[in-house]
C-alpha cells in the first residue's frame, strides 16, 4: 500500500544536489511511467552523490537498495519494477549501460552512467582499456527494445469495449488513485471471471484498497464467503 502520510517539509539546512535544467524542461515531462520516473530520479541522485571518478552506479547496488525497492513496491514486485524502469530509462537514452569483466574474479558487472558527453568519453576510454576501474574488459550494451505498459484506457478498450467521454474521467481518476499493477491485475481478474465491465473492476480495486491487495490478488483470493459478501457471487461462478 502507498504511504499516505503527509510530507513533513524540507529541513532548514538539508543537503542539495545539482541537476541540469533539461531534466525538468524536457526529460521529466516526457516520462509517463511511474517505475521509469522513480528509477530515473533515484539514479540521478545516486550519481550526483558520488565523489569518485568516474561516476557510475552498479546494478547490484540498485538491486539491494532498500529505499528504491520500497518506493517501487507500490506499483508491483520491486525487482520487476526496477528492471522495467531501467529498461525504459535506457531506451529513452537517459542513461548508458556498460558491462565490465572484473579483473579480480572474472565476474561480469553492469554499470550505469549518465548519457552525457563527459560520460560517453569515459566509456570510450574504458572500452579502449585507457581507464582502469578494476576491469579486464568493458563494452557498452545496446539499449533494449521495450514496449511500454498499457494505459488504463488501452486496457479498457482491449478487454471491455469502446470508451465514452464520461467513463474516461472515471478511468483517469482510477489511474491516479491506484498503482498500475493493481489496475492490470483487476482487469485480468475480471476477464477471468467473465465480468467484463468497469463497475466490477472498480469494486475489485476498492476492495484491495480497503482490505489490502494480498487478500484479493489473483491466485491468493479471499474465501468464497468473502467474495459473496463483497461481490455478490462466488469466484468460481
For the chain, which domains are there? Answer: 22-140 (1.10.10), 152-231 (1.10.10.630)
pLDDT computed for residue 225 by the predictor: 43
**55 within 8 A of 39, measured Cβ to Cβ:** no
Give me the pLDDT at residue 109, please: 93
Give per-residue pLDDT as tens, 195-228.
999 999 999 999 998 888 764 443 334 444 444 4
Alpha carbon distances (Å) from 137 to 106, 124, 144: 10, 12, 21
| C-alpha distances out from residue 216 to 106, 136, 232, Å | 46, 50, 15
Residues of the chain with pLDDT under 70: 1-4, 145-149, 214-237
Using a 10 angstrom Cβ sphere, with 0-12 exposed, 13-18 middle and 19 or more buried, the burial of residue 11 is exposed
For residue 81, what is the enclosing H or E element? helix 78-92
Cα→Cα distances 63→68, 72, 82, 116, Å: 9, 11, 8, 24
For residue 156, the model assigns a pLDDT of 87
- Quote the crossing angle between the two packed helices 198-211 and 180-192, to the nearest 10°: 120
pLDDT of amino acid 233: 52
- Distances in Å between the alpha carbon of 161 and those of 7, 153, 156, 157, 164? 40, 10, 6, 5, 10
Model confidence pLDDT, tens digit, residues 134-161:
998 999 988 776 555 677 888 888 888 8
Report which DSSP code applies to 107: -
Q: What is the pLDDT of residue 220?
A: 39
- Supply the pTM of this predicted model: 0.61
Number of neighbours of residue 201 by Cβ within 10 angstroms: 25
Amino acid at each position: 500500500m502507498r504511504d499516505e502520510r503527509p510530507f513533513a517539509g524540507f529541513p532548514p539546512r538539508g543537503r542539495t544536489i545539482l541537476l541540469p535544467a533539461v531534466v525538468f524542461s524536457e526529460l521529466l515531462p516526457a516520462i509517463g511511467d511511474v517505475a521509469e520516473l522513480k528509477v530515473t530520479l533515484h539514479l540521478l541522485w545516486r550519481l550526483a552523490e558520488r565523489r569518485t571518478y568516474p561516476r557510475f552506479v552498479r546494478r547490484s547496488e540498485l538491486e539491494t537498495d532498500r529505499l528504491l525497492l520500497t518506493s517501487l513496491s507500490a506499483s508491483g514486485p520491486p525487482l520487476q519494477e526496477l528492471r522495467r524502469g531501467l529498461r525504459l530509462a535506457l531506451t529513452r537514452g537517459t542513461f548508458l549501460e556498460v558491462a565490465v569483466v572484473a579483473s579480480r574474479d572474472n565476474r561480469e558487472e553492469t554499470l550505469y552512467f549518465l548519457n552525457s558527453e563527459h560520460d560517453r568519453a569515459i566509456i570510450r576510454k574504458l572500452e579502449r582499456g585507457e581507464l582502469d576501474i578494476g576491469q579486464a574488459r568493458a563494452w557498452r550494451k545496446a539499449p533494449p527494445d521495450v514496449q511500454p505498459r498499457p494505459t488504463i484506457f488501452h486496457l479498457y478498450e482491449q478487454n471491455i469495449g469502446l470508451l465514452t467521454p464520461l467513463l474516461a474521467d472515471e478511468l483517469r481518476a482510477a489511474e491516479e488513485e491506484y498503482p498500475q499493477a493493481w489496475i492490470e491485475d483487476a482487469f485480468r481478474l475480471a476477464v477471468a471471471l467473465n465480468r467484463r465491465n468497469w463497475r466490477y473492476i472498480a469494486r475489485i480495486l476498492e476492495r484491495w484498497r480497503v482490505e489490502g491487495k494480498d487478500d484479493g490478488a489473483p491466485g491468493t483470493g479471499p474465501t468464497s464467503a468473502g467474495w459473496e459478501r463483497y461481490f455478490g457471487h462466488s469466484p468460481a461462478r
